Amino acid sequence: AQSVTQLGSHVSVSEGALVLLRCNYSSSVPPYLFWYVQYPNQGLQLLLKYTSAATLVKGINGFEAEFKKSETSFHLTKPSAHMSDAAEYFCAVSRNSGNTPLVFGKGTRLSVIA
């Protein structure tokens, strides 16, 4: 079975500050890991994904995440927060690169303070 734990349901940062959203996973097989962003009343947009290539994955909008097998983590970071980054972020895991259903974490709401 696979599962994802996102630490912190709500994270608040100042504009220009570092963004760090935490995600830990559990998987009995080598995982594929994803980060999605959801704006209010909208669907999910893929930020980035780890598919067993490079452990440091760069995504859209300046986000990146590092896969650490020893820590079973896949934390999402961005060096400098922008007001437009305020949204809900979901970490997800699947057995392969996409053709199986995703198991989502509970989400972390990011607030950016001016």
Residues found near another protein in the complex (CB under 8 A): 36, 41-46, 49, 90, 96-99, 101-107
Task: Please work out, in degrees rounded to the nearest 5, the angle formed at the alpha carbon of residue 48 by the alpha carbons of 86 and 33.
Answer: 110
| Residue (38 or 72) nearer to another protein, CB | 38
Q: How far is the CB of 102 from another protein (least distance, A)?
A: 7
Q: How far is the CB of 57 from another protein (least distance, A)?
A: 14
| Residue (17 or 44) nearer to another protein, CB | 44
Q: How far is the CB of 80 from another protein (least distance, A)?
A: 25
Q: 90 CB contacts (<8 Å, ≥6 apart)?
A: 6, 35, 36, 37, 38, 44, 104, 105, 107, 108
Q: Are strands 73-78 and 64-68 parallel, antiparallel or unpaired?
A: antiparallel
| Residue (53 or 56) nearer to another protein, CB | 53
User: Three-class SS of residue 69?
Assistant: helix
| Residue (84 or 99) nearer to another protein, CB | 99
